[in-house]
Structure 1
């Protein structure tokens, strides 16, 4: 059974707390800052300092043009007490979190913003408006989440999916999860991704559903039901990212030992994997919700300044890629 969780160039500025970033994130931030014009992003309910500061700092970096959605006077007062200059940043006045989330969806549909960014409201509230059957931003595919992780010592960005939305995805949901991640990798200009379908073992075991799903997904890719990536699985975590582990196990594939997208069998495994990398391997992280009409940037109050910059940069680059693709399809 498939279940969706809805608990869900500019001169550099001196950013407080900014440290040395992984080169992959640095490159993406630089590319986003050099887009022909900053992407318009609806920042939903930026009513705590971390959320408002993130929007203002990323705007100063030229990564986006924020449209703040929430109680206007409260946001202005927060900016004043936090020492933040809002300048010409637009504020759309909404009195409640629910109405702010619904207004954000309307701004997308009206073409006023190209992406959304979670402020200080709960993810549930924002995603409820996004996935609403009639008025929401559902597209053809299931909505999913990707963690992008810059791990010290690993040259490529690692995409981990799904670690936040789909609790126990079935095969059809996993197909969408994989395709969403591939499309993001391609949209960011990172090339054809090597996709590892993770399980506890690297052989098919009928008692382990994840190994059966991995084998089916590989066949789906061969039949063009999944496009744009190179898939292999099932793969255990060690032989997905370690060339030596793959060699010892005798695995010969373009993915084993060199994976760029790690597809977890379920949300619990994905979430633990991503947070292990963040808290035990000192990985910088960024997060994006995919599969809706526009990308949705998710940040948390615990994120570093670099993580906020990376999340916005990735959201902006992918929003621009989607806009270019729509324009190309019309042309």
Structure 2
């Protein structure tokens, strides 16, 4: 991924830049030819963090701003005006960061629904898995879920998947009137079949997690589906399911890394947790480069 994105540099605006892992990831992205940067925050704090981590930064790239809210606002403004290509979260609460992104007058809202996509690098499967929405839309209705599918498909296609396979997840793979997630999945599946949503993708659901990812589990349960066992995209019912699923991956899978990006905004937006590793943040910068180039 890093090699593929190094041919053209994006400029990343890091909001509240006095964050060791985010700053280190951005400096490494710069050294790899992946990105240039602009750093928003207090110069003294940013320089101190860089020095403590042994990072060489261009102090001319620092924009002096006091306060997390102000740093986020200034970084968003730089991206909105075209002074930077991509927005990245530093040492700041997600709610403060998103408030600047979602501001109706000064933010980075796109024309439709914005949603978050986690990207897993699953080495033993030899492919990437896209998980959405696990960070932004809390309890989406069926219309919003259809838009989340659209955004996730755009992200997957930005990575070169010609026809992404989308699994609409629920606790069970059968439609159950008492389980709304299964009803929503069935509706969106039918919408996709009639080409009302996610054209150029294969969509099916409801599917449980095991039979979405394991062909053997699908065979044992007698599920005949072009998606079962081969899903590229996992669309979750709500933020609770999605966030727990996505964040479990790097802790439970040895060497498991993931990236996090916002799709559907006017410009690429990187959202990672403050607890995410340097590698995850570096991969998020690379993921944003794919989305930036594809215009997704």
Give the TM bin, normalised by the shorter chain: over 0.9
Q: What are the ranges of 5 or more consecutive residues in structure 2 without an aligned counterpart?
A: none
- How far did 1:172 drift? 1.2
Distance 1:120 1:49 in 2: 8
Q: 1:298 to 1:112 in 2, by over 3 A?
A: same
Change (3 A) 1:276 1:50: closer
Q: Which residue of 1 aligns with 2:281?
A: 308
- Does residue 236 of structure 1 match 2:220? no
Query: In 2, distance between residues paired with 1:243 and 1:107?
Result: 46
Gaps of 5+ in 1: 1-27, 326-331
- In the TM superposition, what whole-angstrom CA distance separates every residue of 1:164-223 from its partner, at most 9, and x where no partner exists? 111111111111111111000111223211000011111111111011100111122123
Counterpart residue number, 2:184:
213
Does 1:296 find its partner at 2:269? yes
Aligned to 2:129: 158
Distance 2:18 2:278 in 1: 18
CA RMSD of aligned residues (A): 1.7
Moved more, 110-119 or 82-91: 82-91
Residue in structure 1 matched with residue 54 of structure 2 by the alignment: 83
Hey, what's the Cα distance between the residues in 1 that align with 2:18 and 2:168? 39
Structure 2 distance, partners of 1:281, 1:98, is: 35
Q: Distance in 2 between matches of 1:100 and 1:200?
A: 41
Does the 8 Å contact 2:26/2:282 carry over to 1? no
Q: State yes or no: 1:287 paired with 2:243.
A: no
TM-score by length of 1: 0.84
Contact in 2 for aligned 1:151/1:277 (Cα 8 Å): no
Q: Give me the whole-angstrom Cα distance separating, in 1, the residues matched to 2:163 and 2:59.
A: 40
1:144 aligns with: 115
Distance 1:55 1:276 in 2: 24
| 1:133 equivalenced with 2:104 (yes/no) | yes
Deviates more, 1:171-180 or 1:218-227: 218-227
Shift of 1:88: 6.7
Q: Take 1:29 and 1:192, find their aligned partners in 2: how far apart are those partners?
A: 23
- Measured after TM superposition, the shift of residue 314 of structure 1 is 0.6
Structure-2 residue corresponding to 1:249? 221
